[in-house]
Amino acid sequence: MTAPVLLSVEDVAVDLPTPRGNLRAVDHVDLEVAAGRTLGIVGESGCGKTMLSRAILQLLPKRAKLAGRVLFDGQDLLRLGSSALRKLRARSLAVVFQDPMTSLNPVLTIGTQLIETLMEHLVIDLAAARARSIALLAEVGIPAPEQRLMQYPHELSGGMRQRVAIAIALSCEPKLLIADEPTTALDVTIQAQILDLLAREQRRRHMAMILITHDLGIVAGRTDEVAVMYAGRVVERAPTQALFKSMRMPYTQALLAAIPKLDAPPHAPLPAISGRPPDPTRPLEGCSFSPRCRYAAARCQREKPVLREAEEAEHHYACFNPLKITAGLSA
Amino acid sequence: MATLELRIREDVTVRSRRLGLLFWLAIGWIILIFAVAILADVLPFPSPTDMDMLEKRAPFSTEHWLGTDGLGRDELARLVFGARSSLLVGLCAPVIGVVIGGALGMLAGYFRGRFEALLVGSADVLLAFPPLILALAITAYLGQSILNLTLILGVLGVPAFMRVARAATLALSRREFVIAAQALGATHARILLRELLPNVVLPLTAFFLVGVAITVVAEGALSFLGLGVPPPTPSWGSMIGEGRESLDIAPRLAFLPAITMFLSVLSFNLVGDTLRALTDPRQGAL
C-alpha cells in the first residue's frame, strides 16, 4: 500500500453506560484507511460497526466514552476543538446512512437541502449553488434533476432518495466517505446500482471510503481491504482478495457460508450461525466467538486471542485455531 | 414527467376530500369574526358604549338588529367590539406561548441534560398550579388591563407549548438527517433553525389553534368574573357576566355572546384538529 494513510484508528474503545451496566460497543480497534482506498467493515447486527463509524466522526451519543486515537490527515480528532472539528467535517468527511427515509429532512425540498449545504460550506452564490446541485444530482444518476429540486423526499423512491443522500454527501468533495449499510433498506435490484455509483464516484474523486455492511458479498468486489468485526473487536483483517482466498477466522467463514447461494440445490438449509452474539454488557473471558465456534478448544474459553499477523503480509486474524489456508472459499 | 404531474394532482384530491364541509364552515366563521373585528370602525355599527336608558333590553328590531343590553347599548355592536378584545387576547397570548415555549422546548429537546431537567421541572410546577387562580391573583395584584391579561394568559400557555415542542424535537433529533447535518459540519444553531424548526412548526401550529380556543375561554372566564377586560370595553366574557343579571327577563343577553364564543372556540378546535390530523400521518409516514 503506497498511498499515504488518511485515517488511522488507534486502539479505539467506545463504552456506553446502560441501565444493565457498561456496554463496550467497540473494543480496542485498530484500522487504517489510505487515501483513495476502500475499506469494508463487515459484521452482524450489534457488533459495533456503526458505533465505530460514529467514533470516527466524533458523533457518538453524549454519554458514550471514547478512548484511543483517531488520526485524520495527521490531526487527532479527539483533541480538536468543536469549531475546528466542524470545519474538518464539512470539508473532509461525509456519511451516507442506511435508511434514506430518515437521513433526509422530510419537510425540506431536495433543492433546499442541497443548496443550503453548498452555500453553508463553500463560497458560492445562490445561482452557482443551484447549478452545482443540478450537476450533482445528474452525476448520481437522477433523471430530470431540475424538477427534483422542487420535490420533497417522500415524492421520490427509495433508490432515488439514497442517490440524493449520496449527492448531499458528495457536495463538499469529502476526502473520506463513510457509507453505513447504504443498501440495506433498498431493493436488491437497486443495491448493485447504488454500490456501483459509490464505487464510481469514489474512483473519480479519489476519495477514501469505508463501506459498512453485514453482507460479505457486497464487499467482495468493491473494497481493497476488509475488516471483519465481532462483538466490538476486529477479528480478521486482510486485503479483500487475500481474505476470500484464504480466510483464517472461523467467524468469517461462517458469515460467508450464511449467504444464500443461487447455485445451491433447492430446499437446502442455509448454514446459519447458531446462537447469538455474547451480551456486550457481560464480556466473556475467552474468545467472544467461542460459544458459537465449531473449532473452539479449551483455550478459546480461557484466553482472548489477539489480532496478529498471519503468514501472509497484511493479513491479520485473532484466533487460536485458524482455518487451514486451503479451507477458504472462493467468492 | 407524466407520472410527476399525476402524483401531484392525486395529492390535491385526497386533501380536499378529507377536509370536509365542517372544516370550511369553521374557516368561514373564523374569517367572518376576524373581518368584522378588524373592520368594526369602518362598518356602520352604533357605538358599543353609548347608552340609551329609554331602550333597555329592547327586542330585535331594524334599528338594533340584536336588541340592546341592560344599559341600552346595541348588542350587535358590543358583540363585534367584544370580538376585538377576545380575539386580541386570544391570539396574542398563544403567540407569547408558542414563541417562548417553542424555543425553550426545542432547546430542551435538543441539548437535553440538566437544562432540560430544569425546564421540565419548572413547567410541571407551573402546570400543577390552577391556572385561573393564578391569573386571578396576578390580575388582582397588577391591575386590570388587556396587556396584563394577555401577558398572564401567554405565560400560562408556555409550559404546554414547551412540552409539544420538546416532544417533537426529542423524536426528531434522533433522526439520521440531524446526524447527517452534523457530519457535514452544521452548527447547533443551523440544525435547530434549518433542520428541526421546519419539522416542529407543524405540530406547534396545530396546537396553537387549540391554544387560541383555550385562551378565548379563559379570557371569557376572567372577564365574567370581572377581572378581565376592564369595562366599559366589551368582551364576550363580561357580556355573559352582565347578561346573567337578567337571565329571567332577557336570556338572550347572556346566550348571544355565549353562542358566539361557543361557535368561535368550536371553529378553532375543528381547524386545529383537522390540521393536526393532516400533519400527523404525514410525519409518521416519513
pLDDT score of B18 = 61
pLDDT score of B97 = 92
Interchain CB contact of A30 with B (< 8 Å): no
Q: Please write the tens of the pLDDT for every residue from A75-123.
A: 888 888 888 888 888 788 888 888 877 888 888 889 988 898 888 888 8
Q: Which of A70, A39, A71, A6 is nearest to A229 (CA)?
A: A39
**Closest residue to A102, CB basis, from B113, B177, B282:** B177
Q: Which of A6, A11, A4 is nearest to A175 (CA)?
A: A6
For B231, the domain range is: 76-170+199-285
Residues 75-134 of B with CB under 8 A from A: 112-113
Q: Which of B174, B168, B265, B72 is nearest to A59 (CA)?
A: B174
More reliable by pLDDT, B120 or B135: B120
Beta-carbon count within 10 A of B117 CB = 11
CA distances from A63 to A123, B59, B130 (A): 35, 72, 37
pLDDT score of B221 = 84
C-alpha to C-alpha distance for A318 and B4, rounded to whole angstroms: 54
In this prediction, residues A198-226 reach a mean pLDDT of 88
User: What's at B179, amino acid-wise?
Assistant: I
C-alpha to C-alpha distance for A236 and A226, rounded to whole angstroms: 8
Q: Which residues pair with A238 in a beta bridge?
A: A226
Which range scores top for mean pLDDT: A110-114, A322-326, B70-74, B112-116? A110-114
| Chain mean pLDDT for chain B | 80
Name the closest residue on chain B to residue A116, using Cα atoms: B194
Q: Give percent above pLDDT 90 in chain B.
A: 7
- State the total domains in chain B: 1
Confidence of residue A21 (pLDDT cuts 50, 70, 90): confident
Quote the DSSP letter at residue A274. Answer: P
Residue of B176, B187, B202 to mutate for A, most A C-beta atoms under 10 A: B176
Confidence of residue A20 (pLDDT cuts 50, 70, 90): confident
Q: Which three cell numbers stand for residue A8?
A: 488511522
Q: Which residue has the cell 387560541?
A: B212
CA distances from B156 to A67, A91, B87, B92 (A): 46, 46, 17, 13
Count residue pairs from A and B with Cβ separation < 8 A: 80
Phi-psi category of residue B24: left, alpha or beta, with phi > 0 → left and psi -120 to 50 → alpha? alpha
Residue B249 lies in a domain: yes
Q: Do B177 and A172 touch (CB under 8 A)?
A: no
Q: Give percent above pLDDT 90 in chain A.
A: 7
Residues 172-191 of B with CB under 8 A from A: 175-177, 179-180, 182-187, 190
Confidence of residue B95 (pLDDT cuts 50, 70, 90): very high
Residue B12 lies in a domain: no
pLDDT score of B94 = 92
Q: Do A89 and B183 touch (CB under 8 A)?
A: yes
- A292 by Cβ neighbours in 10 Å (0-12 / 13-18 / 19+) ranks as middle
Q: Do A89 and B182 touch (CB under 8 A)?
A: yes
User: What's at B208, amino acid-wise?
Assistant: F
**Helix (H) or strand (E) segment spanning residue A202:** helix A188-205
Residue B133 lies in a domain: yes
More reliable by pLDDT, A223 or B54: A223
Q: Do A107 and B190 touch (CB under 8 A)?
A: no
Residue B155 confidence (pLDDT) above 70: yes
Q: Which of B230, B257, B211 is nearest to B102 (CA)?
A: B211
Q: Give percent above pLDDT 70 in chain A.
A: 97
pLDDT score of A157 = 86
Confidence of residue B4 (pLDDT cuts 50, 70, 90): very low
Q: Please write the tens of the pLDDT for every residue from B244-282.
A: 778 777 777 888 888 888 898 898 888 888 877 776 545
Q: What are phi and psi of B68, to 5 degrees?
A: -125, 165
Q: Do A172 and B184 touch (CB under 8 A)?
A: yes
Residue B112 lies in a domain: yes
Q: What are phi and psi of B38, to 5 degrees?
A: -75, -40
In this prediction, residues A189-200 reach a mean pLDDT of 86
pLDDT score of A325 = 61
The structural domains of chain A, ordered by start, are 5-104+174-260+268-327 (3.40.50.300)
CATH number of the structural domain spanning residue B217: 1.10.3720.10
CA distances from B237 to A168, A170, B32, B257 (A): 55, 60, 19, 8
Confidence of residue B102 (pLDDT cuts 50, 70, 90): very high
pLDDT score of A328 = 45
All residues of chain B having their beta carbon less than 8 Å from the beta carbon of residue A172 are: 184
Name the closest residue on chain A to residue B279, using Cα atoms: A107
Is the Cβ–Cβ distance between A322 and A331 less than 8 Å? no
CA distances from B96 to B196, B208, B223 (A): 20, 11, 20
Residue of A103, A109, A155 to mutate for B, most B C-beta atoms under 10 A: A103
Residue B45 lies in a domain: no
Residue B286 confidence (pLDDT) above 50: no
Q: The dihedral of CA A225, A229, A234, A236: what is its sign?
A: negative
Interchain CB contact of A103 with B (< 8 Å): yes
The SS3 of residue A245 is helix
Residue B2 confidence (pLDDT) above 70: no
Residue A231 confidence (pLDDT) above 50: yes
Q: Which three cell numbers stand for residue B247?
A: 337571565
In this prediction, residues A158-165 reach a mean pLDDT of 88
pLDDT score of B279 = 64
Is the Cβ–Cβ distance between A240 and A279 less than 8 Å? no
pLDDT score of B70 = 67
Residue B181 lies in a domain: no
**Closest residue to B198, CB basis, from A87, A108, A147:** A108
Interchain CB contact of B42 with A (< 8 Å): no
Quote the DSSP letter at residue A294. Answer: T
CA distances from B10 to A299, B7, B50, B96, B275 (A): 66, 5, 55, 38, 19
In this prediction, residues B40-44 reach a mean pLDDT of 75
Residue of B110, B170, B184, B199 to mutate for A, most A C-beta atoms under 10 A: B184
Is the Cβ–Cβ distance between A144 and A152 less than 8 Å? no
Q: Please write the tens of the pLDDT for every residue from A258-285.
A: 777 777 777 877 777 777 777 777 777 7
**What is the pTM for the complete model shown?**
0.75
Residue B20 lies in a domain: no
| Chain mean pLDDT for chain A | 84
Residue B56 confidence (pLDDT) above 60: yes
Confidence of residue B161 (pLDDT cuts 50, 70, 90): very high
Which range scores top for mean pLDDT: A31-45, A180-194, B10-24? A31-45
pLDDT score of B64 = 67
Residue B39 lies in a domain: no
In this prediction, residues B137-164 reach a mean pLDDT of 86
Name the closest residue on chain A to residue B181, using Cα atoms: A117
